[in-house]
Amino acid sequence: MSALSLDGVTVRRGERVVLHDAGARFEAGRLTAVIGPNGAGKSTLLSVAAGLLPPDAGTVRLDETPIARVPRRELARRRAYLPQAPRVDWPISVERVVALGLTAHLPAFGGLSPHLRARVAAVLEQFDLAALRDRSATELSGGELARVMLARAVVGEPEVLIVDEPTAGLDPRHALDAARRLRALADAGCAVVVALHDPDLALRIADDAVALRDGVVVADGAATTVFTTKVLSALYDVEMRVVHDAHGASVRV
């Protein structure tokens, strides 16, 4: 079953073409890594896929329905989106921030039902945030905030999760932790789309990959076909080798 697909998507910013005729399919239960050098159009592709940026040409479909025709609240319940370096502007508690992920689930009047409250508690537990529940979100470390934001994104149990650079600014341990959590979500049946600037980390967790360069999809498909010495070297303009050894595959510069 295809959860989300992009077809012939073109985005212009003034005269500049940021995405050109881009296509991709993001399947349920699979983790797709969107890779490419800085300025390749990864974030734009993700915003379009999330239905937040209407493309100048092309279509985005969520289960064969054009995403522009999916009602706003229904879309918010079915797909979650985390932008790059998400932050919280007020010193709200961690629990409240996670609960904001249920905004589209709220009734027209009134607050969280006991059922939704239980879900917030379960997600806090799942992301090891129970101890931080009442901490103000502006006082968290980078790694903690990343976990809070991920919890906020998945608390609504979305079919599609789109995450832009979740590991930016994280040390290796926390980056790996974030990557493992995304992997687990895909294994649980969610279609996970994640832009990553680290090809080695992407190779570790991805089932599929989309390689972008200058707004053009230069390779896409199963991770094994995209993570090759030839594709990566051409993509990043540096010599890169994909090495298979006893510890699995890794990318060496």
Give me the residues that bind other proteins (CB under 8 A), please: 47, 50, 52, 72-73, 75-77, 79-83, 86-93, 96-97, 100-101, 103-104, 106, 136, 152
* Gap between the Cα atoms of 214 and 237, Å rounded: 12
Smallest gap from residue 232 Cβ to other proteins (A):
29
| Length reported for the chain | 253
Instruction: Give the nearer residue to other proteins in terms of CB position, either 74 or 239.
Output: 74
Instruction: Give the nearer residue to other proteins in terms of CB position, either 94 or 226.
Output: 94
- Is residue 81 within 8 A of residue 46, CB to CB? The reply is yes
Smallest gap from residue 102 Cβ to other proteins (A):
9
Smallest gap from residue 56 Cβ to other proteins (A):
16
- Is residue 30 within 8 A of residue 192, CB to CB? The reply is yes
Give CA angle at 162 (110, 179), nearest 5°: 110
* Gap between the Cα atoms of 105 and 32, Å rounded: 27
Q: Distance of CA 33 to CAs 114, 195, 242, Å?
A: 36, 6, 16
Instruction: Give the nearer residue to other proteins in terms of CB position, either 84 or 126.
Output: 84
Smallest gap from residue 223 Cβ to other proteins (A):
26
Instruction: Give the nearer residue to other proteins in terms of CB position, either 87 or 252.
Output: 87
